[in-house]
Amino acid sequence: MLRLKTEQTNHVQVDKPSARLSLAFIIVAFASLSVGALAGMLQGMVRGGVIHLPSWINYYQILTAHGVLLGLVFTTYFIVGFLFSGMARTNGGSLTKTALRFGWTGFYTMLIGTLMAAFEIIRNNASVLYTFYAPLKAEPAFYIGSALLVVGSWLAGYGMIANYVAWKKNHKGQRSPLFAYMAIATVALWQVATTPLAIEVLFQLIPWSMGWVPTVNVILSRTLFWFFGHPLVYFWLMPAYIGWYVCVPRIIGGKIFSDALSRVAFVLLLLFSIPVGFHHQLMEPGISPAWKMIHVALTLIVVLPSLMTAFSMFATFETTGRAKGGRGLYGWFKHLPWTDVRFFAPFIGMLFFIPAGTGGIINASNQLNAVVHNTIWVTGHFHITVGAAVALTFYGIAYWLVPHLTGRTLTKKANRVAMVQIVFWSVGMFIMSTAMHYLGLQGVPRRTDYTDYMNNAEALSWIPWQRVMGFGGGLLFVSAVLLIGVLIYLGKFAPKGNEEYPIGETDGEQYTPAILERWPVWLSVLAVLIILAYAMPIMEQIQHAPPGSPPLRTW
């Protein structure tokens, strides 16, 4: 009976209106990835001293394009598209009309914002990097475009909330599907985390870039940015975790290890990924050491849900492998589906997350941060976190999601090419990030154009490693080309069919405490944590503001 139920529930097809909405987001995501990947490869080549850019384009321009297109645009569009598809999949295959309306309004708002920001980057009027740190100043259209990107994502989030509320109304007293629960936790995190960013952009950066006010409070703007910047990492990670917790168990023919543990992990991520921003500002003046220490302590708490995730994944793999006949300490390992890209890609992503998470703990520890702060170590850390753990998981998802949404199938041949793509990406990222970590420990700065520091001997010794970085970047670009090729094939040319949308189930009924779904409780706790962590220091930064800075344009 249980098996029958599983078979039935796993053949739900996302209906056409919902699929169109998800696909729209996913197409923009991968279009921006293709341009962003090209920018990334060029950067690597420049930094390695292999090529020189033509005079009409500068290093910081492509650095900004790379960061914005991959860190903000690719991730946000893919996440919204993926979450909408999963909300539909766990709601009988369809989104409510309200959800679709909010979804499309959000999509067009985001698109207009993205095009405005991209236009200013192309015109070389916004080479302020993806963190748009003041006092570097971009043209107003860049900030307005970024604000629209955020507002659009809010609207899309309201659509998901509307869908969730409708599901709850129709299923009174029932626990929501795990996917929907996790999607709502991600949306909640995004709504809270982007609010200070919107405040920074609307009340500080736009008036300042318009020339309405002569100066900007730099420390306040950075504090507001990192209020957003750290949970941004979790906004990337949580949908990847959804893939790991909900989709991967089904793909490998196993069960979700624990429904309650999965939900607790997401509640902890929601609570503790926000009031921690000062660990990005440990070397900055204007914030007292006590507040920095409080944020560091809270940061170390957010390690817990990631470790819970690691345990849960190992346990799912082990129970599944043992059920298939695996014996001994690690005999279960070889019973996992190693030739299935839907599993292989996220699994490699999980492996990358081990050094990525470790690097995160190092970055967040005060003295260790002094060793690596603003070095290219941080760039390496960033790349194995979002560029490997998250990106590989998203690729693995896209390989079944795109054919599911277009009514096609992931063929064996496409699976083989996709496996090659994942290997290229993994090897390229391993080579590039290892070189970045190694150079960073020697103090090599990040965000720097090619330079030999006037033939300084030590700086010259870095160049070979920078070439290694460029080589890794080249492999990543080849991989990106393969990825786009396979996705176009899956979306347009693959045989028609019903590709499964994998949604895992728990092994029998499991008890999950109802309080985990009482959002007002968790949002109240979150509000208290944010007030405790940020109210006093932000008040100090306003009351004892440093002299404001006029805008700078360094390019």
Partner 1 sequence: MRPDPTPSKKNQEKQVNTDTEPLKGTFTSVLLLGAFIVVCWVAVFALFLNRA
Interacting residues toward partner 1 by CB under 8 A: 173-175, 307, 310-311, 314-315, 318-319, 322, 329-330, 332-333, 354-355, 357-359, 361-362, 365, 367-368, 370-372, 441, 507-514, 517
Has 381 been annotated as catalytic?
yes
Instruction: Please report the DSSP string for 169-207 in residue order.
Output: HHTTTPPPPHHHHHHHHHHHHHHHHHHHHHHIIIIIIHH
* Among the listed residues 189, 206, 364, the one whose alpha carbon sits nearest the alpha carbon of residue 280: 364
Of these residues, 235, 394, 446, 477, which one is catalytic? 446
Q: Which is nearer to partner 1, 202 or 370 (CB)?
A: 370
Annotated active-site residue 230? The verdict is: yes
Query: Exactly one of 102, 225, 228, 382 is catalytic; which is it?
Result: 382
State the nearest-atom distance from the C-beta of 356 to partner 1, in Å.
Answer: 11
Contacts within 8 Å (CB) and 24+ apart, 144-147: 144/113, 144/116, 144/206, 145/112, 145/113, 145/114, 145/115, 145/116, 145/117, 145/118, 145/119, 145/120, 146/72, 146/113, 146/117, 146/201, 147/113, 147/198, 147/201, 147/202, 147/206
225 counts as catalytic: no
Asked if 171 is an active-site residue, the reply is no
What are the b/e assignments for 421-430, b being 16+ CB within 10 Å?
Answer: bbebbbebbb
The residue (of 464 and 513) whose beta carbon lies closer to partner 1 is 513
For the four alpha carbons of 356, 362, 364 and 369, in that order, the dihedral sign comes to negative
∠ CA 236-241-245, rounded to 5° = 165
Phi, psi (degrees; rounded to nearest 5) at 177: -60, 145
Least distance in angstroms from the C-beta of 329 to partner 1: 6
DSSP characters for 89-117? HTTTT---HHHHHHHHHHHHHHHHHHHHH
Out of 222, 383, 404, 408, the active site residue is 383
When the beta carbons of 165 and 545 are compared against partner 1, the nearer one is: 165
Nearer to partner 1, 384 or 480 (CB): 384
Q: Smallest gap, in angstroms, from Cβ of residue 316 to partner 1?
A: 9
Shortest approach of partner 1 to residue 320 CB, angstroms? Answer: 11
Give the active site residue among 47, 381, 408, 437.
Answer: 381
Find the shortest distance in angstroms from Cβ 65 to partner 1: 32
Nearer to partner 1, 323 or 423 (CB): 323
Q: Is 383 a catalytic residue?
A: yes
Instruction: Spot the catalytic one: 82, 142, 234, 347.
Output: 234
Q: Is 382 known to be catalytic? A: yes
Structure tokens at 422: 């994942």
User: Of these residues, 230, 250, 279, 295, which one is catalytic?
Assistant: 230
Check: CB of residue 63 under 8 Å from CB of residue 448.
no
Residue 54 or 520: the one with the smaller Cβ distance to partner 1 is: 520
Closest CB 294 distance from partner 1, rounded Å: 20
Among residues 331 and 546, whose Cβ is nearest to partner 1?
331
User: In the complex, what is the shortest distance from the CB of residue 398 to partner 1, in angstroms, rounded to a whole number?
Assistant: 28
Query: Given CA atoms 459, 464, 467, 471 in this order, what sign does their dihedral have?
Result: negative
CA of 522: how far to CAs of 209, 268, 460, in Å?
Answer: 37, 9, 53
Q: Which of 20, 101, 175, 447 is catalytic?
A: 447
Positions annotated as catalytic residues are 230, 234, 381-383, 446-447
